Structure 1
Amino acid sequence: MGSRAGIVVTGTEVLTGRVADRNSPWLAEELRRIGVDVAHVVVVGDRPDDLTAALGFLTGLGLDLVITSGGLGPTADDLTADVVARFQGRPSRLDPDLEAHIASIIERLSAGRGWHLDPAATAAGTRKQALVPDGATVIAPVGTAPGLVVPPANGTTGPPVVVLPGPPRELQGMWPAVVEAPLVGAALRGRTELRQRTIRLWGTPESELAATLRDHDDVLGGLEITTCLRDGELEIVTRFAPGAQPAYDALSQIVEEVYGQTLFSADGRTVDDIVADALRSTGQTIATAESCTGGLLAARLTDRPGASAYVLGGVTAYANSIKQGLLDVPEALLDQVGAVSAEVAEAMAAGIRARLGADIGVGITGVAGPDGGSAEKPVGLVHICVTGPDRSIARRIQLPGARADVRARAVVVAMHLIRNLLADEPPG
């Protein structure tokens, strides 16, 4: 077995869901890149006893490394450095050079942002952040909080604990220095390569894939296969040591043979990657006309740098008057079939394509809820049309869930219809 690590995410705001945990997924992937598997992720609030218990649990597993994120600020609830120091049996002392460095950072930030800080409070907070456990390695701050690599007490065994700040920008900026720290390198001396590959299917039930995997279990030894069904996409993530590469090759071949019709990414690319790459390579442009999704498709298409090369723009046409005035949807059509209809979705796609001079136009109209539905057009009904120079693809879908779920899933379906059009495939 290679090197293994545990992660402790601290902060009551994370524990209660007010702030999403962005650090542990990022750390898990970075650790995998250097051959370290994550055994556990523990989330605790700003309570010293709970953090101590989490550290005790992880270090008791025989892990090679423990990483904490959060709790390094100047306020009273930022207790991680002190708790880790006590847990590792390493008394903390003020580092005058570090104190001066943090003070200079705060002074520079204050001048640039026009802050008016209380000198006594600022000095106390700075001293708190400059306390360093005996024998610890200091990781230079990206913000104001330094990181620490704290070894176990002399004469004891156990993993070093890496203490990092909570803001993702700061944590990520400090990570290269963590990897280079001698204490970390020594702890992870036994690491080996840990490969990870992703295959994506569109429209295949998870239960069907599970049966296929069971039927071929004899050739998939050494693979850790995880499947996740999300918004209609079935993601197959496989982790394995280099020696299991033949087993992974067999898995890839099985998936391609059995699910060739729904396999849309054998190399890990997302539908967003595939659509962007196809638009760039063909030189085609796209424009969106959205009603119930309120611009979410346009936001997704423009989420990556360089999208201006192929996204011309979009219209959020919520009111019928906007559908008529900006997209040239005929008033008679709206009166005849209503705004939520296949005909209006098609007219919206054609209208935005003509108005902006795009190669591809997308029209989306539906009932996102929770109100506004009827027996004929219930909540969750969405019509999507993607039209290009030579053909159009239309889809009527009935989506479950709350308003946000309907809107998000409709955008995913629209992305796949765009993919189908660009690849000259039938809709999945």
Structure 2
Amino acid sequence: MSARAGIVVTGTEVLTGRIADRNGPWLAERLLELGVELAHITICGDRPGDLAAQLRFLAAEGVDLIITSGGLGPTADDLTVATVAEFCGRELVLDPELEARIADIVARVMARFPNVDADAVRAANRKQALIPAGAHVLEPVGTAPGVVVPGTPTVVVLPGPPRELQPMWRAAVATPAVQQAIAGRTRYRQDTVRMFGLPESALAATLRDAEVQIAGFERLEITTCVRRGEVEMVTRYEPDSAAVYAELLTLVRQRHGGEIFSEDGTTVDEQVAALLAGRRVATAESCTGGLLAARLTEIPGSSGYVCGSVVAYANDAKTAVLDVDPALVAAHGAVSEPVVAAMADGALRRFSADTAVAISGVAGPGGGTPDKPVGTVCFCVRLAEGPTVVRTLRLPGDRADVRERSTTVALHLLREVLSRPS
């Protein structure tokens, strides 16, 4: 079995949901990269008893490494180091050199605040120079140092702000105590297959068959989830099980080859970004309110090809900005394939683009009709040189679901059109 680790995220603000935890997922990814098995992520408030309970729990689970985040500040509720020292059976001692370094950092910070009592601030920060005897000090990125306490398990104490925790983690991993704790790590491989237009239940049936048909299937750790209307299968395995994974992938291809769009982990966003290289794309959106344009511009490097977007809910706006013929709207309705095609044409002309995507639908709540209930969405992808796809779908879920799924469908249609041989 690989070396195992546990993470304790501290902070009442995280426990109560006022702040979303970013450190647990980030550390989980770093442990995976190292080949360390993550056993648990726990969250507790700023109460020493609760933190001590989490530390005891993880130690009882037999983990080799415990990582804590948060609770290293100068205030009275920042008690992580003291609690860890007690858990590890070590005395808290003052590190004079560390105290001097922290004082220098505080002095530079306080220079921007002339009305603050610098001596009082330095006194408050003095507690940050108290460390467990024999611990390795991780130099502060902000004002709070971290510590690595050797033992069984070894405990790594990191600050809460991600901008401080992340560089400090790299320093922690390099310490002899952490290297010894993770000496039994296993280098795992992880592969991701993404599918679109496939219900998760269909993939689940395939995996049940694979469990029976494929020798060594139990050596694969498989996670499936639905994300933005796509089905994602993540498989983690040791290198000597590569042949087992290859057999699984062959079965998935046989059953769902038409729905697989990525076997290397790339997202549809990344694939569309590559296909749009050298092109100019414009969007015309109604029910999605600009979400597609926003998603396109969030892709790294996308600023070079997104040339504009129109959000037009009212029919008058579709006519005034996108040149949609009012007679077309009157004859077919705003949510219709003829109108969404006209919106795409208008976007092409308005922005002198060579690629356009238009979306019009009934996202809800209310507003649907028996012919066009909530979730009815029309799409058009049009290229200036000719190829066009127009499609109407019924998408499940509430308003937020319909809007988000619509952007995913639009990207897949864009990918489909751009992937066609010229």
TM-score (norm 2): 0.93
Report the alpha carbon displacement of residue 133 of structure 1 after superposing the two structures with TM: 1.2
Conserved? CA contact 1:28–1:37, under 8 Å: no
Report the alpha carbon displacement of residue 53 of structure 1 after superposing the two structures with TM: 0.9
Structure 1 runs not aligned, ≥5 long = 153-157
Which piece of structure 1 moves more, 132-141 or 71-80? 71-80
Question: Structure 2 matches for 1:375-394, cutoff 5 A?
Answer: 375-388=370-383, 389-394=385-390
Alignment partner for residue 414 of structure 2, among 389, 413, 418? 418
Report the alpha carbon displacement of residue 144 of structure 1 after superposing the two structures with TM: 2.1
Partners of 2:74 and 2:319 in 1: CA distance: 57
One-letter identity of the residue aligned with 2:347: I
Name the residue aligned to 2:275.
278
Q: CA offsets per residue over residues 153-198 of structure 1, 9 Å max, x none?
A: xxxxx21111112222221122211110111011111112111111
Report the alpha carbon displacement of residue 337 of structure 1 after superposing the two structures with TM: 3.1
Alignment CA distance shift 1:53-1:365 (3 Å): same
Partners of 2:114 and 2:156 in 1: CA distance: 31
Question: Structure 2 matches for 1:104-183, cutoff 5 A?
Answer: 104-111=104-111, 116-152=115-151, 158-183=152-177
Q: CA offsets per residue over residues 205-225 of structure 1, 9 Å max, x none?
A: 222212222222233241111
| Greater than 4 Å deviation, 4+ residue runs | none
Partners of 1:363 and 1:187 in 2: CA distance: 54
Partners of 1:393 and 1:111 in 2: CA distance: 62
Secondary structure of the structure 2 residue equivalent to 1:186: helix
Partners of 1:19 and 1:395 in 2: CA distance: 40
Secondary structure of the structure 1 residue equivalent to 2:266: coil
- Pair 1:244 & 2:241 matched: yes
Structure 2 runs not aligned, ≥5 long = none
Secondary structure of the structure 2 residue equivalent to 1:302: helix
Secondary structure of the structure 2 residue equivalent to 1:216: helix
Report the alpha carbon displacement of residue 83 of structure 1 after superposing the two structures with TM: 1.4
Q: CA offsets per residue over residues 317-344 of structure 1, 9 Å max, x none?
A: 2333332222222223233333333222
- Pair 1:18 & 2:18 matched: yes
Conserved? CA contact 2:106–2:122, under 8 Å: no
Report the alpha carbon displacement of residue 376 of structure 1 after superposing the two structures with TM: 4.0
Name the residue aligned to 1:47.
47
Conserved? CA contact 1:228–1:235, under 8 Å: yes
One-letter identity of the residue aligned with 1:246: A
Report the alpha carbon displacement of residue 27 of structure 1 after superposing the two structures with TM: 1.0
Partners of 2:286 and 2:127 in 1: CA distance: 52
Secondary structure of the structure 2 residue equivalent to 1:14: helix
Partners of 2:109 and 2:341 in 1: CA distance: 53
Partners of 2:34 and 2:169 in 1: CA distance: 12
Secondary structure of the structure 1 residue equivalent to 2:360: strand
Partners of 1:313 and 1:119 in 2: CA distance: 51
Alignment partner for residue 362 of structure 1, among 347, 354, 357? 357
Question: Structure 2 matches for 1:173-322, cutoff 5 A?
Answer: 173-217=167-211, 218-219=214-215, 220-280=217-277, 283-322=278-317
Partners of 2:356 and 2:98 in 1: CA distance: 57
Report the alpha carbon displacement of residue 371 of structure 1 after superposing the two structures with TM: 4.1
Which piece of structure 1 moves more, 96-105 or 197-206? 96-105
Partners of 2:290 and 2:101 in 1: CA distance: 45
Name the residue aligned to 1:155.
none
Conserved? CA contact 1:110–1:116, under 8 Å: no
Alignment CA distance shift 1:347-1:126 (3 Å): same
Secondary structure of the structure 1 residue equivalent to 2:234: strand
Partners of 2:306 and 2:111 in 1: CA distance: 40
Partners of 2:393 and 2:100 in 1: CA distance: 61
Which piece of structure 1 moves more, 303-312 or 56-65? 303-312
- Pair 1:397 & 2:380 matched: no
Partners of 1:306 and 1:109 in 2: CA distance: 36
Partners of 1:334 and 1:118 in 2: CA distance: 68
Which piece of structure 1 moves more, 368-377 or 315-324? 368-377
Report the alpha carbon displacement of residue 244 of structure 1 after superposing the two structures with TM: 0.7
Alignment CA distance shift 1:159-1:314 (3 Å): same
Alignment partner for residue 405 of structure 2, among 381, 390, 409? 409
Report the alpha carbon displacement of residue 120 of structure 1 after superposing the two structures with TM: 4.8
Alignment CA distance shift 1:302-1:93 (3 Å): same
Secondary structure of the structure 2 residue equivalent to 1:72: coil
TM-score (norm 1): 0.91
Which piece of structure 1 moves more, 256-265 or 142-151? 142-151
Alignment CA distance shift 1:327-1:21 (3 Å): same
Report the alpha carbon displacement of residue 380 of structure 1 after superposing the two structures with TM: 2.9
Secondary structure of the structure 1 residue equivalent to 2:116: coil
Alignment CA distance shift 1:139-1:376 (3 Å): same
Name the residue aligned to 2:331.
336
Q: CA offsets per residue over residues 61-88 of structure 1, 9 Å max, x none?
A: 1111011112222223222222112111
Report the alpha carbon displacement of residue 105 of structure 1 after superposing the two structures with TM: 2.8
Alignment CA distance shift 1:276-1:110 (3 Å): farther
Secondary structure of the structure 2 residue equivalent to 1:416: helix
Secondary structure of the structure 2 residue equivalent to 1:299: helix
